[in-house]
Amino acid sequence: MATHYIAATDIVDDLIKPEMITESDLDETDDFITQICRDNDVDPVNLPNPIPYKVKALAISYCCCQVCIRKTGTGPKQYQDAGGTDNFGRKLKIFQDQVDRRIGQMDYLVILGLQQMYGGNSGPISIERG
C-alpha cells in the first residue's frame, strides 16, 4: 500500500465521508502537493514528517475538490437540498475557494514547516506515512 500525504480519515466533513475517498483521489492529491513543493523550489523528499499544518489543510481541501468533481451531478436525492441544488456542486465551490486561498499562502517556509520560526502560529499535524 502506498503512503500518502493525507489519509481518507483526515477528512471530516458533513457531506464527504472517508469511504468516498478513492486511492485515485489520494494519488492526485499527492501529485498536487508534490507540484506545489516543486513550484516553490522545495524537493518533495524534504517535506517534513509530519507534514506542516497548512500543507495538510491544502491537501485535504484539494482532495475534497476531487471528490466533489467526481460526484457533482451524479448523487442521489439525498445529496440535494430541498430546492434540488446539488450539494457536491456547492461544496466544490467552497473547497476550490479554500484551495485557491491556501495556494496563495504557500512558500518554502510554510512547506518546510519553518514559518513558526518567523512568526507563524500553526503547528504540524502528525500522520502515519509508512
Q: Domain limits at 68? A: 8-118
Q: What is the pTM of this model?
A: 0.80
How many percent of the chain have pLDDT more than 70?
77
Residue 29 domain-assigned (yes or no): yes
> Could you report the per-residue pLDDT of 91-126, keeping only the tens digit for each?
899 999 999 999 999 999 999 998 766 555 454 455
Split into its structural domains, the chain has a count of 1
DSSP annotation of 15 reads S
Alpha-carbon Rg for the chain, nearest whole angstrom, is 16
User: At 58, is the secondary structure helix, strand, or coil?
Assistant: helix
How many of the other CB atoms lie within 10 Å of CB of 27? 13
Residue 69 lies in a domain: yes
Task: Tell me the mean pLDDT in the region 41-70.
Answer: 94
- Residue 105, Cβ neighbours under 10 Å: how many? 14
Q: Is residue 5's pLDDT more than 90? A: yes
